[in-house]
Chain A
Amino acid sequence: MLLPQQGGESMAQLQQSVIRNRLLASLSPDDFALVQPHLETVTLELRQHLFRADQKISHVTFPERGIASIVADTAEGRFEVGMVGSEGVVGTALVLGIDRTPHTCMVQAEGEALRIGAGELQAVMEQSPTLRALLLRFVHTFIVQVSQTAYANAGYSVEERLARWLLMTHDRLDHDDMPITHEFMSIMLGSRRPGVTIAVQTLEGTGAIRATRGNITLRDRQKLEQIAGQSYGFAEKEYSNVFQFPIKRGG
């Protein structure tokens, strides 16, 4: 039986149990109670900007569903430097006490998210060392992901990098169908579109994926992992070591 004064707490716990974001879901009940009043539900529209280069980052965003990409926007074009889904939080600069970055963040796969304002985040991190520690642990795993992207870009072929990118995208989605164009993958990989078209055909030839216009279906994950080789796996393993749960939903 619920006592009236426990009403608020049990309601907060009930809400945490339906939260899909892995970081928020893994908070202790006390830490969750601290952030819960500040959480705001938002939708993530395709191509929507969560923050722009050199402009104030207003919120940290915890994706519930969907994927956000951190992209470098240069005169030469834009390319992806990192991706975040329901395993993490977007706007890591704020966790580190910095309110802007030279990078832009845009939605790569639509969904929903919970967000908390920059000021409220600072306040709750001041109040709870365990909350701050959890967010910092994610920042560490994100740095490892970005480092592995640098490694993949330096040493791997377009086919291998595409395989890695598809695996990373698949890790953050609940389904095998990925509605993505060659144009979009070419931006994400920072490689001209004909290179992506050839790589898609090659991967399809191995049976790892099936490609139709504007859509990639993952058919054989193991095969894709084989093709990606050492470019994929280090960052994902680091994430599961740090958090004790896998980066892939249901994985």
Chain B
Amino acid sequence: MRYFMNIRYRGRLISDPEGDELSNEEAVHGHALATARDLVFGARMETIRSWFDCSFEITDEGGRTVLVMPFDEVVPASQFGSA
């Protein structure tokens, strides 16, 4: 199955014209997390001031949204916690 890694950034939707081939819908979350992690820690961009303002809105070939994932999921919640 092909999944399209569209990005929502400050209200604007940046559509993915190509998509990624993944074995099934269960693989989508892990792939989104790995991709977001590499972008957050490895890709400095002029267009995106902060990757943490981005979410993936991933759709399948039929246009159905299969996952919405804010990029701050790449940072474990405990790092923000008071403990």
Binding site for B on A (CB under 8 A): 156-160, 181-183, 191-195, 197-199, 201-202, 213
Contact = CB atoms under 8 A, between A and B. Distances in A.
A202 B43 contact: no
B16 interface: yes
A15 B17 CA distance: 45
A160 B44 CA distance: 10
A191 B38 CA distance: 8
A202 B47 contact: yes
A159 B18 CA distance: 19
Contacts of A192: 35, 38-39, 42-43
Interface string B7-29: 10000001011101000000000
B43 A158 contact: yes
Contact of B18 (A160, A193, A198, A199): A193
Contact of A159 (B16, B35, B42, B45): B45
Contacts of A213: 17-18
A159 B48 CA distance: 10
Contacts of B43: 158, 191-192, 195
Contacts, number: 55
Main secondary structure of the interface of A (DSSP, over half): helix
A199 B47 contact: yes
B45 A195 contact: yes
A177 B18 CA distance: 19
Contact of B44 (A158, A181, A193, A197): A158
B61 interface: no
B17 A198 contact: no
B44 A157 contact: yes
Interface string B51-62: 000000000000
A226 to B, nearest CB: 13
Contacts of A158: 43-45
| CB-CB nearest 5 A-B residue pairs | A195-B43, A202-B47, A192-B38, A159-B46, A158-B45
Contacts of B5: 193-194
Contacts of B20: 193
Contact of A199 (B7, B17, B42, B45): B45
Nearest to A201: B14
B14 A198 contact: yes
Given A182-B17, A193-B5, A213-B17, A198 B38 contact: no
A198 B47 CA distance: 7
B18 A183 contact: yes
A213 B15 CA distance: 12
